[in-house]
């Protein structure tokens, strides 16, 4: 609904709860001594994006506190492909891959906008913890249901294993 007094939406449009994208410029203070974005910054970007995603989708801090819990990072794996440098504009996309039991898994891709080059991939495992004692607890059922289809795809893909690697061009395997 649009308010007649200010022309703004009275209710915020919620972001897709399973995928979210933001862009921003590389800033000078994010660089290491080689003039590249410092490795630790990619982790900060992924966490910043995850937080912005949760808030934009309506599952942020207030929602989590009202359910007596919250997400904490358990494990992160980063694969670096190409460096980002000062002046690059980067696009970060996070996709929820799994919500099951107390676990949640998000995959973040970081690309350079100018040439669509993949710079890094960040796989983060989160754990839902109770605020009362900090112990792992099952994620809220609403989130499990919301992510049921992507969770099923992720688990099926894991059962199949990684795709076989192709041999050199023009040569057959076997």
Q: List pLDDT tens digits, range 105-128.
A: 999 999 999 999 999 999 999 999
pLDDT of residue 162: 73
pTM, full prediction: 0.84
pLDDT for position 13: 80
For 60, half-sphere exposure in the C-beta direction (CA atoms, 13 angstrom radius) is 15
The answer to whether residues 25 and 33 touch, using CB atoms and an 8 Å cutoff, is: no
- The whole-number pLDDT of residue 8 equals 38
pLDDT of residue 161: 84
Report the distance separating Cα 42 and Cα 65, nearest Å: 27
Please tell me the total number of residues recorded for the chain in this structure. Answer: 174
Residue 120 CB burial class (10 angstroms; 0-12, 13-18, ≥19)? buried
- Span 137-162, pLDDT tens digits: 999 999 999 999 999 999 999 999 87
Tokens of 145: 């249901």
| pLDDT of the residue at 5 | 36
Q: What is the pLDDT of residue 164?
A: 64
In whole angstroms, give the CA distance from residue 172 to residue 9.
59
pLDDT tens profile 8-60: 344 558 999 999 999 999 999 999 999 999 999 999 999 999 999 999 999 99
Contact 93, 108 (CB under 8 A): yes
Q: Which domains does the chain have, with CATH numbers?
A: 19-159 (3.10.129.10)
């Amino acid at each position: 609904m649009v308010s007649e007094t200010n022309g703004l939406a009275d209710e915020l449009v919620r972001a897709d709860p399973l995928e979210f994208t933001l862009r921003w410029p590389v800033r000078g203070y994010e660089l290491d001594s080689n003039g590249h974005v410092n490795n630790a910054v990619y982790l900060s970007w992924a966490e910043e994006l995850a937080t912005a995603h949760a808030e934009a989708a309506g599952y942020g801090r207030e929602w989590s506190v009202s359910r007596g819990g919250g997400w904490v990072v358990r494990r992160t794996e980063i694969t670096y492909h190409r460096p980002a440098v000062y002046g690059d504009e980067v696009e970060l996309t996070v996709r929820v891959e799994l919500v099951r039991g107390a676990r949640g898994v998000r995959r973040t891709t970081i690309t350079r906008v100018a040439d669509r080059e993949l710079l890094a991939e960040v796989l983060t495992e989160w754990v839902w913890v109770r605020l009362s004692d900090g112990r792992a607890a099952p994620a809220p059922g609403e989130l499990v249901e919301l992510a049921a289809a992507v969770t099923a795809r992720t688990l099926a893909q894991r059962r199949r294993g990684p795709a076989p690697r192709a041999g050199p061009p023009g040569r057959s395997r076997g």
